[in-house]
Structures are given as structure tokens and as C-alpha cells.
Chain A
Amino acid sequence: MSGDLYEVISAVGETIIANRQMLTDLDAAIGDGDHGINMARGFEAVKAKLQTLETESDIGKVLKTVGMTLISSVGGAAGPLYGTAFLRAAASSQGKTELDVETIGSMLEAAIAGIKERGKATTGEKTMLDALVPAYEAFQDGAKTGKSVIECLKLACEAAKQGVEFTKTIIATKGRASYLGERSRGHQDPGATSSYIMLKALLEHLRR
């Protein structure tokens, strides 16, 4: 499991890095055009830090390092937002070594609470929450009916994808995109997109 955890985070990071341009293009349309660059910079720093944690099996410890590294290296609003999300997920998974349904469920719940608190945000404001909250709800629905981690994550990814689509239909009221008001409609939110991409990378890695 220990090597696996390292590989999970690496896979998520590589996916963000690979989508740098797409995320930046989405952000250029309605924001300051740095989301992809910032997130890639953050996960490049995570990649370097992870070398020291290759044998760490405590999920909480690994996620804490990811959170701290994102906070100090992303630079844009995504730094404190995702950083806080990872730190809260770390606190909820301290001492855990298995990415089981219960652990992932509580990690998502804690991460979402952290983003809501840090961003003073909720769903329907064209943010990462519009992907993450439905994803969490779908994940928990799966968990309640006894589905496997993979099946629950699949449901979560489908819900997150729909959440990203939903962000095209609403206007932004948080962050730089809120300056655009009505003109932000029709564009998908870069933060919701990066959240979806990370969940999908997690699913694809675990499914292998």
C-alpha cells in the first residue's frame, strides 16, 4: 500500500501537469489565466517533496505534505483552497493506510468543508465545489449501497463531470470570474475542472 499511495499522488499530479494548458485556457476565458500554470507548479513541487515519502504508509502524513506544499507553491487562490482541502483530508485520514470507501468518504467530506470555510463559498457559485459536492454525494450514495471503492469513485466522477457541465450554465459570484458577471456564463469553471480531473486520475489509477 505504501508504494501505492505514493503512486496515487504521483498519478494525480502528473494528470494536473499534463492538463496545464487546458486549465490555463479555461481560466484565461473568465479569470486571470494562471490556474493551469499555478496547479502544475504546485504539483511539480509536490512531486519533488514526495521523493522523501516514497515509503510512507500513513495517508494522513502524505496528504499533509501535499497540502503544505500546495499552499507554499501554487501562488493563486487554488493554493490556499486545495492546500486547505488536502490538510483537512489529511487530518481525517491520520493513521489510515488503506484507501477504502470509508476513508475516501471522510477525506472528501473534510476537504469540502475546508474549501467551503476557506473560500466562504457554497455550491452554485461556479467553483470547485460544483464538482466536488455532487461527487461526494454520489460517492456516499454508492457507499450506502455497499459498492466498492472503484464503483463509488466512478459514480463520484460522473457526478463531478456533470457538475463541471453545470458550471457552464451559471454565472460566477466568487473569485476573479465574478468581475465578469453575466459574461462568465457559457464557460466551464477551471477550478471545478481541476477537481474533476483529480478525482478521475484517482479513479483511473486505482482501476489499473
Chain B
Amino acid sequence: MVGVVIVSHSQKVAEGIREMALQMSAPEQKIIAAGGMADGGIGTDAFQVSEAIISANTGDGVAVMVDLGSAVLSTETAFEFLDEDLRAKVQIADAPILEGAISAVVEASLGSALAAVIATAEGARTLNKM
């Protein structure tokens, strides 16, 4: 099952999205929040992200959901700390973080492959609410 990592500048945002996504997920689905700095401040930490990716991986790879700006840079930096095997199986979804995470978790929990999980997450960009 593809794991999902949520990278936000805010620990609360990442934890909150995880909590919402868990409601939609299979029991064995890995969803790991990587939000904020170690001191609780606002920001992203590439080491925290790489650890989250490692914990989220059960062998099928990991889809990473990001919020703004440095979340992308920190995640790409985190990729450098992964071993090559895992690096080939991890991808950032270019999607809104909340809607994308929930879409990704639904798809991943069905047992879909990484490419499908990313595609579904990115499909959340065009979800209409009204």
C-alpha cells in the first residue's frame, strides 16, 4: 500500500489533515504528518520529511503532499537523504494539500500503485465545491 506523507509549515495543519484523511483510509494505510519545526515553530524540516517518508513506506512507495514554497524545497532536499531504492518510489503530488491528501489516501487504500495515487491526488486540483 502506497504511504502518504503530509508536509506543512504548521505541525497543526499536518496533524489535522492526517486526522481527516485517516477517516477515509484502510486500517493498514500509513499516513505520516511532517509539519513544522522541531521547536514547534512554523517551517519545514527536510530531515523530519525524510524520516516521515521512511516510516510511510511499506515497499510500494510514498506520495508526498505539500503546502507552500519551502515545503517543496525541503521535500526535494529530503529525497537526497533517502537510499536510491526508496528515492525511485517517492513522488510529490502537485495538488492542494488537504483535498490532495484525502484523494491520495482513498486511492492508496484501494491498493493502487504510486502513479495512480499521484494522479488522483493531482485530480483534486479541479474538484468543485459549488
Contact = CB atoms under 8 A, between A and B. Distances in A.
A binds B: yes
Nearest to B9: A75
B45 A77 contact: no
Contacts of B42: 34, 75
Given A72-B38, A72-B47, A73-B37, A83 B77 contact: yes
A119 interface: yes
Contact of A80 (B9, B37, B77): B77
Given A75-B70, A118-B76, A119-B73, A80 B41 contact: no
Given A72-B38, A84-B77, A118-B77, A79 B43 contact: yes
A9 to B, nearest CB: 20
B68 to A, nearest CB: 8
A71 interface: yes
B74 interface: yes
A88 B68 CA distance: 25
Contacts of A81: 73
A75 B37 contact: yes
Contacts of B68: 176
A84 B76 CA distance: 11
B69 interface: yes
B77 A76 contact: no
Interface string B67-107: 01110011011001000000000000000000000000000
A75 B41 contact: yes
Contacts of B45: 71-73, 75, 79
Contacts of B70: 75-80
Interface in A159-184: 175-176
A24 interface: no
Residue of A72, A78, A80 with most partner-chain B CB within 10 A: A80
Nearest to A32: B69
Nearest to A118: B73
B47 A71 contact: yes
Interface in A95-111: none
A39 to B, nearest CB: 12
B120 interface: no
A83 B46 contact: yes
Interface string A35-53: 0001001000000000000
Closest 7 CB pairs of A and B: A75-B43, A77-B70, A80-B73, A80-B77, A72-B47, A71-B46, A75-B37
Interface of B: 9, 37-38, 41-48, 68-70, 73-74, 76-77, 80
Given A75-B9, A78-B70, A118-B77, 16 more contacts: A38-B43, A71-B45, A71-B47, A71-B77, A72-B38, A72-B45, A72-B48, A74-B43, A75-B37, A75-B44, A80-B46, A80-B70, A83-B77, A84-B80, A118-B76, A176-B68
27 contacts: A41-B41, A71-B45, A71-B46, A71-B74, A72-B45, A72-B46, A73-B45, A75-B9, A75-B37, A75-B41, A75-B43, A76-B43, A76-B69, A76-B70, A79-B43, A79-B44, A79-B45, A79-B46, A79-B73, A80-B73, A80-B77, A83-B77, A84-B77, A84-B80, A118-B73, A119-B73, A176-B68
